[in-house]
Chain A
C-alpha cells in the first residue's frame, strides 16, 4: 500500500531550511510519499540531497524527487516580475514537489507537464509489456 501525505506550503513557510528538510525527510523515512505544495528553494533542493546522503543506511536507500512547475520563461516580462515579487513575499507556492523513498519509488519520469511514479511492480509491468511487444 502506498501512503501519500500532502503538505500545504503554510506548514513549511516559517521553518528555516534545515527544519524544512528535516520535516520532509522524516515523513519520507516513514515510507510515505510527500506531496508538497510549491517547491523548495534551489539551494534547499541541493541541501535535501546532501542530507539524504548523510542518512543513507541499510534501511534507507535515498529518495526520488520531482518538481512540477509552471513554465514562465515564455511569459510576458511584467507577468514574470509580478510572479517574482509574489515568490519573495509569499514563498514559492506554485507547482508541486513529490518526494518518495527510493525503496518504494524506483523512478520518476518527468516531462515538463506530466509525472509518472514507477514502483517496483510498475517497472516489472513495463518490462513485461516491452517483451510482449518484441
Chain B
C-alpha cells in the first residue's frame, strides 16, 4: 500500500516537472565520490564538452557549477535539464589534510576555507533541486552519517533521488553494500571515468525525472 502511494506521489512530482521550464538535477554526495567526473561524462555524452576539473585531492569542486539546457535522449524518451554539480558535503575539513596531499600551507588554508563555504552552499541549494543524483564511491563504506543525512534531507524535502554507485571499475567496488545500505532506492552501478553502464544510468534517470 505504501509503495503504491509512493509511486503515485512520484508520478505526481514528475507531472509537475514536465510543466516546469527548467528542471534542476543536482549531483550530491561526499567528497571524492566522482560527482564532477559524472557531470563531465553526462556533458561529454550530450554536449560534447566537459563541465569541471577533477582531482584525487578532496574538495576539488568548491563552488556550485551549473550546465544549462542539457538535452538527453534514450529509447525514444527525451529530457532537458539544468545540471548542478555541487561541492562534496563533509562534516570535517582540516587544511592539514591538504598539506599531506602536497600543497603549500597558504594554498591548503585557502582550499579549506573555500571548501567550508562550498559545503554551506551545497546544503543551501538542496531546496532548489527538482531531482538529485547521490553519487557514492562504491569502494567506500556507505554507512556514513553524511550519506544518511543527505538522503534523509532529500526524503524530508520530497525530492526524487537516484543513487549512483560510482567507480565499479575498481577491484574494491562493492555495489551490493550500497544497495543494502539504501534498499528503498534504485541504485545504479557505473564507472563515470570509463563510461561503464551509462545506458542503465540514463534509463534510471528517466525513471526518476523523465
Interface residues of A (CB under 8 A from B): 41-43, 45-47, 49-50, 52-54, 56, 61-67, 73, 77, 102, 108-112
Chain B 89-133 residues near chain A, CB threshold 8 A: 89-94, 112, 116-117, 119-120, 123-124, 126
Contacting residues, chain B, for A111 (C-beta < 8 A): 143
- A and B contact pairs by CB, cutoff 8 A, 18 listed: A42-B149, A43-B156, A45-B153, A46-B126, A46-B149, A49-B149, A53-B116, A56-B112, A61-B94, A62-B91, A62-B92, A62-B93, A63-B92, A65-B145, A67-B148, A102-B94, A110-B141, A110-B145
Contact: A62 with B90, CB < 8 Å?
yes
Q: Which residues of B contact A63 (CB under 8 A)?
A: 91-92
What residue in chain B is nearest A101 (Cβ atoms)? B92
B112 touching A45, Cβ below 8 Å: no
Question: Separation in Å of the B139 CB from the closest CB of chain A?
Answer: 15
Assess the A54–B120 pair: CB atoms within 8 A: yes
Contacts of A110 in B (CB 8 A): 141, 143-145
Interface hits, B151-185 → A, CB 8 Å: 152-153, 155-156, 183-184
Q: A46, B153: Cβ atoms under 8 Å?
A: yes
User: How many A-B Cβ pairs are below 8 Å?
Assistant: 75
16 more A-B contacts (CB under 8 A) besides A61-B92, A64-B91, A77-B2?
Answer: A42-B149, A45-B149, A49-B119, A49-B146, A49-B149, A50-B124, A54-B120, A62-B90, A62-B91, A63-B92, A64-B92, A65-B145, A108-B145, A110-B141, A110-B145, A111-B143
Tell me if B4 is interfacial: C-beta within 8 Å of chain A.
no
B18 → chain A, closest Cβ, in Å?
A: 28
Query: How far apart are B42's CB and chain A's nearest CB, in angstroms?
Result: 25
Please tell me which one of the listed residues A42, A46, A77 contacts residue B1 in the complex, with CB atoms under 8 A apart.
A77
Q: Which of B2, B117, B124, B144 has the most CB of A within 10 A?
A: B144
Residues of B within 8 A of A64 (CB): 91-92, 145
Cα of A46 to Cα of B159 in the assembled complex, Å: 15
Q: Are B1 and A112 in contact (CB under 8 A)?
A: no
B141 interface neighbour in A52, A77, A109, Cβ under 8 Å? A109
> Quick one: given A53-B93, A63-B92, A64-B91, are A42 and B153 in contact (CB under 8 Å)?
yes
Q: Can you name the residue of chain A whose Cβ is closest to the Cβ of B148?
A: A67
Of the residues B119, B120, B144, B152, contact of A45 by C-beta under 8 Å: B152
- CB-CB under 8 A from A77, the residues of chain B are 1-2
